Chain A
Amino acid sequence: MKAMTQRLHLTHPGHFVGGLTLWSIWFVAVYGGLSVACAVATPDAGQGAFTPINASLLLVSLFTVVLIAALAWACFKEAKRHQARRHFNAKVSAWLYLFSALAVVFVAAPMVGLPPCL
């Protein structure tokens, strides 16, 4: 775990865009995936939100949240170990990862209640 954290160079400002890049990829994947799924395999409207499409999208979202949240936690930890520039970079990255994780949760929430293709 420690070796992996070191490899990620969590004090590099590249991580400022890490969480939001993952959020963007997730966003494009769920929007694009929804569009394609609705075009090729529209579920019965009576099923409501209990469809394989919703389940798949939620699964992808859950995986994304866990991944981003783990990075946020690692960045917070890394920030404590450093001072000045490295501390600044890791701390801003940590909050950005945390925001990105919450953004996934917030945007994905309607998957629980809305039918996918109506």
Chain B
Amino acid sequence: MTTINREVTPQDPQDLHSDLHEVWGNPRGLKAFTIVNHTTLGLRFMVTGMAFFLIGGILAMLIRTQIATPDQNFMTPEIYSQVTTMHGTVMMFLFAIPILEGLAIYMIPKMIGARDLVCPRLTALGYWCYLFGGIILCFSMVIEMAPDSGWFMYTPLSSSEYSPGLGSDFWLLGITFVEISALSAGVELVVSILRTRTQGMALHKMPIFAWYILAMALMIVVGFPPLILGSILLELERAVGMPFFDIAGGGDPLLWQHLFWLFGHPEVYIIFLPAAGIVSTLIPVFAGRPLVGYGWVVFAITVMGFISFGLWVHHMFTVGIPQLAQAFFSAASMLVAIPTAIQVFVWLATLWLGKPKMKLPMLWIVGFLVIFVCGGLTGVMLALVPFNWQVHDTHFVVAHMHYVLVGGMLFPLMAGIYYWLPLFSGRMPSETIGKWGFWLVFGGFNATFLIMHWTGLLGMPRRVYTYDTGFGWDIFNLLSSVGSFVMSAGFAMVIIDIALHFRYGKPAKHNPWNADTLEWANSMPPSAYNFVSLPVVETRHPLWDNPDLPRTMREGQHGLPTISHGRREMWGTDPLTGKLREIIHLPGNSWWPLFAALALAVVCISLLLRWYPVAGIGVVIAVGFILRWSWENGAHPKAAPDAHVKAGDPPLHSRTMDGPGLWAMTTAMIANGSFFLSYLFGWFYLWTVSPEWRMPDESPLSLIGLCVAGVAAILGWGLLEKAVRGLREKNDKGLAFNLYGAAMLGAVQFGLVLWVLLNANLAVTETTHDAIIMVGLAYALLHSGLGAVMALLQGMRVGYRFVGAHAPFEPLVVTYFWRYSVLVFWMLIVALDILPRVIGS
């Protein structure tokens, strides 16, 4: 590892900008669909998220209008159920998570001194999947077929018996489509933060916001797969009749609740953590001093990231689980108050010891502190089992949830938007309109939801479309509704302020808030490449410690100012120390992400319409696009055919054995592992708990067939390891043979698993046991097939000289995939075939 910090003669910033812009600049017109740059895509995420926020907001107003007074018939019960379900769904899945991901996608490279995220085409795929999934989901409202079983889609209400239309299918398929976006953002944010920080930025020196986003991204990677599995199972039940959640077939509706809340509770923290990251970033800037207790905040983030996965059953206290188990989850729910409180005290201490300036962003931060602390306190109340039983499914829970989510996410987000607005546009917002907006939102919010606690305590259940007069709820509901319209007026003012500032806002001076972090070293608005040259940063406050840094960066006095090679380059650094390891070269603009997302949209729509052959063709086309996209990597002419670097610079990552792709594969396999463990959880849960579970006396699977398939997989993996060992020694003799051999063995494994599946005569629509086995074997088929194709493509790339001793990276990535596949295949054999033989039913 080396450190490069040359003393370079200043160059003309305009010349440097022109050179860099030629390689990094965004195309216009139709080609704008090919853009993969994080700045543009981050903005697209945020703007699209705001559009969905408006839709969700309108739905909220419809709800409040309907229940403003008793015995209203403004909406039918059916439409009301659709509106409440879509309000929750849009706000959680299409607004809260994507807009925060968008902010992270926009901000993280700028804060850590990088030029882009590490997988730019993945960013683009994520955006298109989000957009298309969101449109498909919202289209259901236009045709009055929106989901109506609540945003958590509890079975059996969401099953085909009680929700026979397409509503639930829209939800299950649309949300799964959108979750591709969340997972792709999660993977690349993790890798970008760990591997692309600028030189010298050791883990304990990185901006606190990056810690929050790292935790959020890892939580997405682990937390979303259970819901993806649940959605797949429920859609299979609805479309094909596999009885996963049907008691009669051996399933259990509670399995859905477990899978949903395994995702759903961490999701609250996935939303909260980046918002808290905004707070921890802004408070030191406006207090004019470093954050008190940086280490304690890292501690709190880590605790939250873990404990939040141990709380999911507190959403299920009324379903009838043993008291002792309830006590476990009640205690864990209370524990999460500790890291939250640590952060609140850190923020207060920073304000106390600094000299806070009450600018517009700070107003929203103060609003956050007030509302979020209240929401946190009612959260502790809800963690107590007896109280939880009393207010379960009442407006009290709705009020608590909004205090936590609006207070904990929306207020910090608004603070962040106002804070970074000058960076987005180069202009300042209007303090006057902004303050009006804040006070209307703050007052309206509390009028709506503080009062909703009382209607809840008076017994008003959630999601009822009307109520009789005389329960004592009338006046409170009316006041809540008035408050909600005041809040809407506040948001309208904020939107007007933001819209007007692009044209009439005062031009912002450089670093207008006197911030400490690197994003303010960008031009305003930023260029596509972020920084002309990449500095060495060994402090948490680079712009406070070296105010001249933006100028020297613009003049090319730091790393990688040369662009004559035509590659998009940035540093790859050690995840712990920040020492330089390699130059990461990034792909340019590409149609493949858009094409792949379009093909996936066709799959989604075809599945909705039950056009299964079309869906199958769509899958093949999507896989084809993605494989073609993977082809344009490494030493490919469209990537980096020439490995030449400046004397003294480290090598290109594709010429090493440890590029970011390896980290991306590892992170993706963590997500995959979470999916697989959720599957195993489902299998063992139903086996143990389901009242009608039926396991045959003899396993329907051929143990010999599965074991031979497993041995083939091990042999294929062995060939890949051999190939990688050779590459580490710069020896590519027999490389193609080993790769083709692995591909062939992968194909043998695929064929054998298929044979076992076809010979098992599974009654997948009659028993849950057989249906779950079917899903497990399909999972194994997918992995063996994909492993074979990946090894085959690598063999072909050897022939084209895209892979070899000169470019040894890619076979290692494929080997990582195989390691995972072999491990989970043998786990499947043990779980599905060997254990039932040993233990019996």
A5 vs B309: C-alpha distance when bound (angstroms) = 29
What are the residues of chain B within 8 A of A95 when measuring CB–CB? 299
Q: Which residue from B204, B310, B688 sits with its C-beta under 8 Å from A39? A: B688
Given contacts A27-B310, A110-B328, A118-B324, could you give 11 more A-B pairs where the C-beta distance is less than 8 Å? A27-B328, A84-B204, A85-B204, A92-B298, A99-B303, A99-B338, A107-B332, A109-B331, A110-B331, A116-B324, A117-B324
Which residues from chain A contact B577 at a C-beta distance below 8 Å?
85
B325 at the interface (CB under 8 A from A): yes
The answer to whether A115 and B295 touch across the interface, beta carbons within 8 angstroms, is: no
Taken residue by residue from 194 to 209, chain B's Cβ proximity to chain A (1 for < 8 Å, 0 otherwise) reads as 0000000011100000
- B residues 320-335 near A (Cβ < 8 Å) are 322-325, 327-328, 331-332, 334-335
User: Does B782 lie at the interface of the complex (its beta carbon under 8 Å from any beta carbon of A)?
Assistant: no
B322 engages A91 (CB within 8 Å): no
- The answer to whether A17 and B335 touch (CB under 8 A), given A85-B577, A92-B295, A114-B327, is no
Most chain-A CB neighbours within 10 Å: which of B324, B325, B338?
B324
- Is A56 interfacial (CB-CB < 8 Å)? no
Q: How large is the interface on B (under 10, 10 to 19, 20 to 34, 35 or more residues)?
A: 20 to 34
Looking across the interface, which residue of chain B has its beta carbon closest to that of A111?
Answer: B324
Does A88 count as interface, using CB distance less than 8 angstroms?
yes
Residues of B contacting A110 in the complex (Cβ-Cβ under 8 angstroms): 324, 327-328, 331
CB <8 Å contact, B309 and A36: no
What CA separation (Å) do A23 and B302 show in the bound complex?
13
Write out the residue numbers on chain A whose beta carbons fall within 8 Å of the beta carbon of B328. 27, 30-31, 107, 110
Contact partners of B331 in chain A: CB under 8 A: 106-107, 109-110
Cβ of A64 to closest chain B Cβ, rounded Å: 13
Interchain nearest-CB distance for B331 vs A (Å): 4
> Which chain B residues border A65 with CB–CB below 8 Å?
none
Chain A residues contacting B16 (CB-CB under 8 Å) are none
Which residues of B lie under 8 Å from residue A115 when comparing CB positions?
Answer: 323-324
Chain B contact residues: helix, strand, loop or mixed: helix
Contact of A20 with B322 at beta-carbon distance under 8 Å, contacts A27-B332, A36-B688 already known: no
The interface of chain A, by Cβ under 8 A from chain B, is 12-13, 16-17, 20-21, 23-24, 27, 30-32, 34-36, 38-39, 54, 84-85, 88-89, 91-92, 95-96, 99, 103, 106-107, 109-111, 114-118
B324 x A114 contact (CB < 8 A): yes
6 contacts between A and B (CB under 8 A): A21-B306, A84-B204, A99-B338, A103-B332, A103-B335, A118-B324
B338 in contact with A91 (CB, 8 Å): no
Residues of the A chain whose Cβ atoms lie less than 8 Å from the Cβ of B830: none
B26 CB to closest chain A CB (Å) equals 36
Q: B8 at the A/B interface (Cβ < 8 Å)? A: no
The CA of A114 and the CA of B324, in the complex, are separated in Å by: 6
CB pair A34 B324 closer than 8 Å? yes
Point out the residues of chain A lying under 8 angstroms from B643, CB to CB.
none
- When C-beta atoms are compared, the residue in chain B nearest to A20 turns out to be B306
Q: Is there contact, CB below 8 Å, between B322 and A38?
A: yes
Taking CB atoms, residues of chain B closer than 8 Å to A36 are 688
Say how far A28's CB is from chain B's closest CB, in angstroms.
Answer: 9
CA distance A32 to B338 in the complex (A): 25
Q: How far is the CB of B539 from chain A (nearest CB, A)?
A: 12
Interface flag for B576 (CB, 8 Å): yes
A20 B299 Cβ-Cβ under 8 A: no
Measured CB to CB, the closest approach of chain B to A7, in angstroms, equals 18
Instruction: Give Cα A108–Cα B689 distance, bound, in whole angstroms.
Output: 23
> What is the CB-to-nearest-CB distance from A59 to chain B, in angstroms, rounded to a whole number?
15
Give the residues in chain A near B323, CB-CB below 8 Å. Answer: 114-115, 118
- Docked pose: A68 CA to B307 CA in angstroms: 16
- The 4 closest A-B CB pairs, nearest first, are A110-B327, A20-B306, A107-B331, A88-B204
Measured between beta carbons, the chain B residues less than 8 angstroms from A16 are 298, 302
Q: How far is the CA of A117 from the CA of B202 in the complex (A)?
A: 49
B618 → chain A, closest Cβ, in Å?
Answer: 38
Interface residues of B in 259-312 (CB under 8 A from A): 295, 298-299, 302-303, 305-307, 309-310
Q: How far is the CA of A21 from the CA of B310 in the complex (A)?
A: 11
Chain B, Cβ-Cβ closest to A88: B204
Task: Please name all residues of chain A whose beta carbon is closer than 8 Å to the beta carbon of B202 when the two chains form the complex.
Answer: 85
From known contacts A20-B307, A39-B689, A92-B295, infer whether A107 and B204 are also in contact, taking CB-CB under 8 Å: no
Closest B residue to A95 by CB, please name it. Answer: B299
**A27 and chain B: residue at smallest CB distance:** B310
B335 surroundings in chain A (CB, below 8 A): 103, 106-107
Q: Which one of A34, A99, A109 lies within 8 Å of B322 (CB-CB)?
A: A34
Rounded to whole angstroms, the CA-CA distance of A21 and B305 in the bound complex is 11
Question: For residue B684, which residues in chain A have a CB less than 8 angstroms away from its CB?
Answer: 32
- Is B325 touching A35 in the complex (CB atoms < 8 A)? yes
Partner of B299 from the list A23, A24, A96 (CB cut-off 8 Å) is A96
Choose one: B302, B310, B689; the contact of A35 (CB below 8 Å). Answer: B689
**Is B576 in contact with A23, judged by CB distance below 8 angstroms?**
no
A contact residues around B307 at 8 Å (CB): 20, 103
Residue picked from B313, B328, B335, B577, most chain A C-beta under 10 Å: B328
What's the Cα separation between A84 and B334 when bound, in Å? 33
**Across-interface contacts of A13 in B (CB, < 8 A):** 203, 576
- Contact partners of A117 in chain B: CB under 8 A: 322, 324
CA distance A23 to B335 in the complex (A): 12
A116 contact from B295, B299, B310, B322, Cβ within 8 A: B322
Q: Which of B306, B307, B684 has the most CB of A within 10 A?
A: B306
Measured between beta carbons, the chain B residues less than 8 angstroms from A84 are 204
Q: Is the CB of B295 within 8 A of A17?
A: no
> In the assembled complex, which residues on chain B have CB atoms less than 8 Å from the CB atom of A114?
323-324, 327
For window 330-360 of B, CB contacts with A under 8 Å fall at 331-332, 334-335, 338
CA distance A34 to B322 in the complex (A): 9
The answer for the CA separation of A17 and B302 in the assembled complex, in Å, is 7
B204 cross-chain contacts in A, Cβ below 8 A: 84-85, 88-89
- Which chain B residues border A32 with CB–CB below 8 Å? 684
Cβ-closest chain A residue relative to B575: A13
Quick check: B303 and A96 within 8 Å, CB to CB?
Answer: yes
B674 CB to closest chain A CB (Å) equals 12
Chain B 487-516 per-residue mask, 1 if CB under 8 angstroms from chain A, else 0: 000000000000000000000000000000
Q: Contacts A85-B203, A118-B323 hold; do A20 and B303 have CB atoms under 8 A apart?
A: yes
Q: Determine the residue in chain A with the shortest Cβ distance to B338.
A: A99
Is B306 touching A17 in the complex (CB atoms < 8 A)? yes
A96 touches B332 (CB 8 A): no
Q: What is the bound-complex CA distance between A16 and B303, given in angstroms? A: 9
Contact residue among A88, A96, A111, A118 (Cβ-Cβ distance under 8 Å from B302): A96
Q: How far is the CA of A102 from the CA of B684 in the complex (A)?
A: 30
Report yes or no: A12 in contact with B576, Cβ–Cβ below 8 A. yes
Select the residue from A27, A89, A99 with max chain B CB neighbours within 10 A: A99
Contact B309 A24 (CB under 8 A): yes
In the complex the two chains form, is A23's CB within 8 Å of B322's CB? no
Interface-centre pick from A17, A24, A85 (highest chain B CB count, 10 A): A85
Q: Given the complex, which residues of B lie within 8 Å of A35, measured CB to CB?
A: 325, 688-689
Alpha-carbon separation in the docked complex, A110 to B333 (Å): 14
Give Cα distance in the complex from A107 to B314, angstroms. Answer: 14
Query: Closest B-chain residue to A91, C-beta based?
Result: B295
Q: How far is the CA of A13 from the CA of B305 in the complex (A)?
A: 15
CB nearest to B577 among chain A residues: A85
In the complex formed, the residue of B with least CB distance to A107 is B331
- B202 and chain A: residue at smallest CB distance: A85
A54 to B322, CA, bound (A): 13
A111 to B309, CA, bound (A): 21
In the assembled complex, the Cα of A96 lies from the Cα of B689 at a distance in Å of 34
A105 to B168, CA, bound (A): 42
Q: Chain B residues with Cβ under 8 A from A107's Cβ?
A: 328, 331-332, 335
The complex places the Cα of A36 from the Cα of B331 at a distance, in Å, of 21
Across the interface, which residues of B come within 8 angstroms of A111, CB to CB? 324
> Shortest beta-carbon distance, B1 to chain A, in Å?
15
